[in-house]
Amino acid sequence: MIEEILSDAESRMQKTLDSLRRDLASVRTGRASPSLLEKIEVDYYGAATPLQQLATISSPEPRTLAIQPYDKSSFPAIEKAIQKSDLGLNPSSDGKVIRVSFPQMTEERRKEMVKLVKKHVEDHKVASRNVRRDANEMIRDLEKSKEISEDEEKRAQERLQKVTDQCVAEIEKIGRSKEAEVLEV
């Protein structure tokens, strides 16, 4: 029973790490990355459709993304969606490809991005601690119902704490790495 609780907590913490990586992939850095446009939804024939389902996104140069729509009629909708996004980008189209140039980020913008990274990191630390709290409650309930001894409860909580500490350390490592990437000129 304890093993099930611990493995469930560990897998939920792993999902927290995966979620953090996805969230940080959409945070703008000095370089152009196709993952920056992942969260953009395009109004395509009345339905909000993710951009990557409508076009191929590539990065031919470090500061440029090229978007090649599958359907030529979607050009205006894609351009509009990129302009409306909070990325502050201005796309240009030549009829075949939409190009998005990423201007050099100002120091102020970099600091805003670092704050955003720190917010994501803190949110995910809280999420991993919530997983720990839930698992601890389940372990305590087992001890109260006399399904396990007090010693087994203590050992399980110590193992859970180690898993939580590893997860939080990994979250911080990912955050530091992304901060360095954002601050890189």
Q: Which of 27-31, 126-130, 158-162 has the lowest mean pLDDT?
A: 27-31
- Beta-carbon contacts of residue 85 (< 8 Å; ≥ 6 apart): 37, 39, 40
Q: What is the length of the chain? A: 185
Quick one: 118 and 69 in the same domain? no
Quick one: 67 and 47 in the same domain? yes
* Domain enclosing residue 60, as ranges: 34-101
Single out the residue in 63, 82, 101 at which a domain terminates. 101
Q: 39-50 burial, b if ≥16 CB within 10 A, otherwise e?
A: ebebebeeeebe
Task: Give 95-127 pLDDT, tens digit per residue.
Answer: 788 888 877 778 888 888 899 999 999 999 999
Query: Strand locations in 32-154, DSSP E?
Result: 41-44, 47-50, 55-61, 64-69, 91-93, 98-101
Task: Give 52-85 pLDDT, tens digit per residue.
Answer: 888 888 888 888 889 998 888 888 888 888 888 7
Quick one: 156 and 120 in the same domain? yes
CATH number at residue 11: 1.10.132.20
Q: Is 134 helix (H, G, I), strand (E, B) or coil?
A: helix
